[in-house]
């Protein structure tokens, strides 16, 4: 989580660039990293809950 925030802060610097390409790279990187972090915390926990990998199978 801390790594994602540090990377977003690093790419946030690109938003102040006068070049349009660097601005787009910074913006897309921040959006992509934020979406990945959000998916990591929501989808992963939901999939673990649904698959129940640690439950015992009673025969």
Whether 19 is covered by a domain: the verdict is yes
Whether 56 is covered by a domain: the verdict is no
Mean pLDDT of 20-25: 96
What pLDDT does 53 receive?
A: 81
Give the C-alpha separation, 9 to 15, whole Å.
10
What pLDDT does 37 receive?
A: 94
Whether 37 is covered by a domain: the verdict is yes
Coil, helix or strand for 57? coil
User: How many domains does the structure of the chain reveal?
Assistant: 1
Hey, what are 38's tokens?
A: 């959000």
Whether 36 is covered by a domain: the verdict is yes
The reply to whether the predicted model has a pTM over 0.85 is no
**Between 4 and 55, the higher pLDDT residue:** 4
Whether 57 is covered by a domain: the verdict is no
- Helix %, strand %, coil % of the chain (to 5): 80, 0, 20
Mean pLDDT of 10-25: 95
Domain with 32, as residue range(s), is 2-49
């Amino acid at each position: 989580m801390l790594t994602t925030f540090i990377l977003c802060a690093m790419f946030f610097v690109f938003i102040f660039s006068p070049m349009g390409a660097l601005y787009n790279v910074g913006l897309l990187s921040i959006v992509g990293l934020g979406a990945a972090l959000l998916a990591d915390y929501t989808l992963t926990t939901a999939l673990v809950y649904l698959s129940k990998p640690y439950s015992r199978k009673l025969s």
